[in-house]
Structure 1
Amino acid sequence: MDVQGKRHIPLSPAQAWEALNSPAMLRACIPGCESIEQSAPGRFEVVQQLEIAGHRTSFTSTLWLQDANPPHSYVLRFEGNGGSAGFGAGRALVALQPAGDGTSLQYQANAEVGGAIAQMGGALADQAVRGLIEDFFTRFERSARGELVLAPHGMAERLWEMMPPWAWALSTLVAVFILYWGLHGTW
């Protein structure tokens, strides 16, 4: 399965390169990322919680850079294991080029899956993997634009930070009401 795309990133190629190699940025952008640790230069160990075709599972993955040409391009290789859910492996060629007031980020990725994920059917498995890849690059673009707050903590905190202002206000009002009612037993 192949996925390719192009994004305009409002950063210089050097800044985009730095962001693509930042554990905090990767954590914010990798779908379902629970943790990420840099085990060596250009090598990351990732734990993800994913739901694929209604099945929620934990994946442990390794990401590593090959053929790095800072700040222009690299090949990102990945291997992941979800236990009984299956496994995935692939690579993504990422190229960064100056473009006006930022950088043109182009990617071409391919991935293969096996185990229970592959048994869902080729089209459904491809759709799930394609969605994960597209989700990563969408989040990266949004983070670079300042639309997605980088959070060095868990999913609940990241969801809170992504909430629109009206949801913050509503949540705060509900919390105040619950606190007041709990202390006084009446409104």
Structure 2
Amino acid sequence: MEAEMDVKGKWLLPTSPQKTWEALNSPEVLKACIPGCESITDTGSGHFEIVQVLAVAGFKTRFSSTLTLEDPNPPHSYVLRFEGNAGSAGFGLGRALVALQPTADGGTQMNYQATAEVGGAIGQLGKGTVDSTAQSLAETFFSRFDQVMRGQLPVDDGAGALDRLWGMMPPWGWAISTLVLVFIVYWGLHGTW
């Protein structure tokens, strides 16, 4: 059995559309804001792999999800496509339009409209339960996002020094460092190129 859900709303933020856009594209910020998020990995080209644990009407389950950013129009809008799998508990597929508008006070009004379909055991809960859970998750996300943008919620929630280091060096820097390390190890083992 499947259930469809629709969620829409708006949120006023104290930061400019550009700063809001940058935060919405930051894996660290997303991890701090997504309810139950255990990990988020930027796999490149607007694709993120997310692992989160959610409780929906008594079902506590781990979702492995892919989030894809489509039709980006920085810093104004994009479409998010979501595909989640919770094994025997069910699945979720969805799409959301996120639009950022500047406000007169220099902030941003973030408008969102999402539709999703859930199936499996979660889908059997019915549209009312699924809609209210989705609305609650959206409110939690945007409340946390607002706190991050106001500096009231830390983004680095205990990540180690290596995690912070990974975030500071550009990908090409890590690629070069890795190649150099491979050459050094090879030379150390074989004594010759």
**Bin of the TM-score, shorter chain as denominator length:** 0.7 to 0.9
Query: Of 13, 17, 20, which aligns to 2:21?
Result: 17
Matched, 1:131 2:144: no
The structural deviation recorded for 1:89 is 1.0
Question: Equivalents in 2 of 1:63, 1:21: separation in Å?
Answer: 11
Q: Secondary structure at the match of 1:147?
A: coil
Q: Which runs of 5+ in 2 are unaligned?
A: 160-193
Paired residue for 2:124, among 112, 115, 119?
119
Name the TM-score, length of structure 1 as normaliser: 0.78
Q: For residues 75 and 111 of structure 1, do their structure 2 counterparts lie closer, same or farther at Cα, with a shift above 3 Å needed?
A: same
List 4+ stretches of structure 1 deviating above 6 A: none
| CA RMSD in angstroms, aligned pairs only | 1.3
1:138 is paired with a residue whose SS is helix
Between Structure 1 and Structure 2, how many residues are aligned?
154
Aligned partners of 1:87 and 1:127: how far apart in 2? 17
1:141 aligns with 2:126: no
Normalized against structure 2, the TM-score is what?
0.76
Identify the match of residue 53 of structure 2 among 28, 49, 53: 49
Distance in 1, Cα, partners of 2:148 & 2:83: 24
On the 8 A contact 2:7/2:134 being kept in 1, the answer is no
**Superposed CA offset, 1:43-99 (max 9, x none):** 100000111111211100000111100011000111100111111111111111111
Identity over the aligned pairs, expressed in percent? 60
Unaligned runs of 5+ in 1: 155-187
Partner of 1:72: 76
Letter in 2 for 1:6: K
